[in-house]
Amino acid sequence: MVRKERMSKKISFIGVGPGDPDLLTLKALKKIKSADIIIWTDSLIPEKILDFSKEGSEKIKTSSLTLEQITSVMIEKFHAGKTVIRLHDGDPCLFGAIREQIEILKKEKIGIEVVPGVSAFQVAAAYHETELTIPDITQTIILTRSDGRTAMPEKESLKDLAKHNSSLCLYLSARHVKKSQETLLEFYPPDTKVIVGFRVSWDDGWTSLIDLKDMEKFSTEKKLIRTTIYIISPAISNFQNRSNLYNPSYKHLFRNK
């Protein structure tokens, strides 16, 4: 069990969801409202998330900064007695690059906390009223990315992951959609449904339901390069299978008659 450091003042890493302020957690909202210094991933978070900040708070964009620049600003402001928060899009545990920031802060004996947020795949699935875990079809969701400038570990190649035929969410992959489609078609039928979401929940965002065989063509037509999520899943178009949970023939602790 991790023993939490008892420190009154901390730097909070906050997941702010995919963009829509209504998808902020109450905890995130409270922290944004009370922060003196807001360090935020401006390339992936819409500015209107900052509308809740208090007057006079300082906002620092991270898109052009290095890890060392970001953390030294955090350390300096924290030691100056300011309430510092670091905003990440979606949930911070997913492709958030928070570990290295946290390590540096811990070396400085600064307490931290992480506030979870709603991730892009959850919102894209919700917009399509989709359950990604359907009995006998798939009970697994893989969250991954395609090989790009950040190489994938060999044992996690898209080929290996696609073999499971599970629900598969591709982050950070729009630039590599051609290769991804080719690989996925080796394991999923061409008419497997794909939810494509661009800037999901932003004012100019959208989602679409397409077939896997059209993923590359569609992405090229829409000029998708960034802030795109793909959910490839045999569960999306399945309307037959039902779960045991609410099945009258299935007894459990809360319904044993």
Ligand X SMILES: C[S@@+](CC[C@H](N)C(=O)[O-])C[C@H]1O[C@@H](n2cnc3c(N)ncnc32)[C@H](O)[C@@H]1O
Site of interaction with ligand X (CB under 6 A): 18-19, 44, 88-91, 94-96, 119-120, 171-172, 197, 199-202, 226-229
CB nearer to ligand X: pick between 94 and 161: 94
Write out the H or E segment, with its range, that includes residue 230: strand 228-233
Instruction: Find the distance separating the first CA and the last CA of the chain, reported in whole Å.
Output: 39
CB nearer to ligand X: pick between 64 and 249: 64
CB nearer to ligand X: pick between 137 and 232: 232
Which tokens is 3 given? 């023993």
Which tokens is 79 given? 């030691």
Measuring CA to CA, which residue among 156, 221, 240, 236 is closest to residue 188?
A: 236
Q: How far is the CB of 105 from ligand X (least distance, A)?
A: 19
CB nearer to ligand X: pick between 188 and 198: 198
Asked if 195 and 207 touch (Cβ cutoff 8 Å), the reply is yes
CB nearer to ligand X: pick between 74 and 224: 224
Q: How far is the CB of 88 from ligand X (least distance, A)?
A: 6
Q: How far is the CB of 160 from ligand X (least distance, A)?
A: 20
Q: How far is the CB of 37 from ligand X (least distance, A)?
A: 21
Measured from the Cβ of residue 83, the count of other Cβ atoms closer than 10 Å reads: 18
Q: How far is the CB of 222 from ligand X (least distance, A)?
A: 12
Which tokens is 10 given? 């901390």
Q: Are strands 193-198 and 228-233 parallel, antiparallel or unpaired?
A: antiparallel
Which tokens is 196 given? 């494509």
CB nearer to ligand X: pick between 44 and 125: 44
- Which residue is at the shortest CB distance from ligand X? 90
Which tokens is 245 given? 């949970």
237's CB contacts (< 8 A; 6+ apart) are 191, 192, 193
Q: How far is the CB of 180 from ligand X (least distance, A)?
A: 12
